[in-house]
Amino acid sequence: MANSVLETISSDFASVAEKAGASVVAVHARRWMPTSGIEWKKGVVVTVHHGVQRNEDIKVLFDGDRAGPAKLIGRDPGTDLAVLRVEEGAPDVPQLGDSTNLKLGHLVLALGRTRRGDLVASSGIIGGISGEWRNRRGGHLDQHIRLDLALYAGFSGGPLVNARGEVVGINTRGLAHGRAVTVPVATVNGVVDELLEKGHIARPYLGIAMQRVDVPERMASKLPVETRVGLLVTHVETDGPAEKAGVLLGDVLFEVNGETVEDLTVIQDAIAAAKTGDLMTIGLIRAGKVEQVSVILGERPR
């Protein structure tokens, strides 16, 4: 009986790998080992940004040893994704699943393709899953999906596949100090759509550098909110959004959009949730007085 169950699971996983693997490609866009990728939609290949080390002379190897040229459409270092355009892709595009249905401990497959075009797989489980995640590169992912499996060299850019054979994200080691994580489908779709439309990701920014400081008790009593810490402006970018709004070196920020800013993450979260052109209201202390400025978020220079 046990053997029968194991054989069934093995056969099912083999079928899943074969089905989803038809859209998995090898992307030759760097000097040595290629990375993996997947034809996300007809004529559009998604791979990892860190594996595309040249903008031209990119080759994609499909299932069945068929190869073809690819054109770089755009890249997003924040999510470690790059989008390529191919003329003749795979016969079918993958079936996309909903990564929000993943649970801790679910069995999953990571797929990749070797330099010679062989499909390869690694099995494991969902090792950790939580809500939205802003990584160290400033990218915003709809979920933080950690993998408990071996993501071998060349696997980055390949898909994560659930037990139903659905692609639920793109795997990478480029976002968490070499740890294997998955960029969920919703995030990939958003990046792909924007790169196809604009060729780049428009990320808003303020154009200032800050550090945490204590607010003196006599000054804290004058503030419209209860806080004893703020963020000291240590640098203002020339012609940046903050400078245009009148933010000065030495200002101390204590509030943004009505929320106290006791550490940098509050500002970072507010910016991550905004769009270029949005208005951000900032409360600050300047020369012992409480001021308020409104900043129109600009697009981070590329």
Tokens for 17?
């790998």
- DSSP 8-class letter at 233: E
Among the listed residues 13, 33, 19, 97, the one whose alpha carbon sits nearest the alpha carbon of residue 63: 19
- Say how many C-beta atoms besides its own lie within 10 A of residue 32's C-beta: 8
Residues 6+ apart with CB under 8 A from 266: 256, 259, 260
227: left (phi over 0), alpha (psi -120 to 50) or beta: beta
The one catalytic residue among 80, 142, 144, 251: 80
In DSSP terms, which residues pair with 113 in a beta bridge?
A: 119
Establish whether 76 is a catalytic residue: no
Establish whether 11 is a catalytic residue: no
State the DSSP H helix or E strand holding residue 267, giving kind and residue range, or none if neither: helix 264-272
Establish whether 80 is a catalytic residue: yes
Helix, strand, or coil here: 195?
helix
Give just the sign of the alpha carbon dihedral 108, 179, 57, 41.
positive
End-to-end CA distance of the chain: 59
The one catalytic residue among 50, 63, 122, 251: 50
Range list of β-strands (E), 133-207 = 133-134, 140-141, 144-148, 159-161, 167-172, 181-184, 204-205
Q: Is 21 exposed, middle or buried (0-12, 13-18, 19+ CB in 10 A)?
A: buried
Question: Annotated catalytic sites, by residue?
Answer: 50, 80, 156
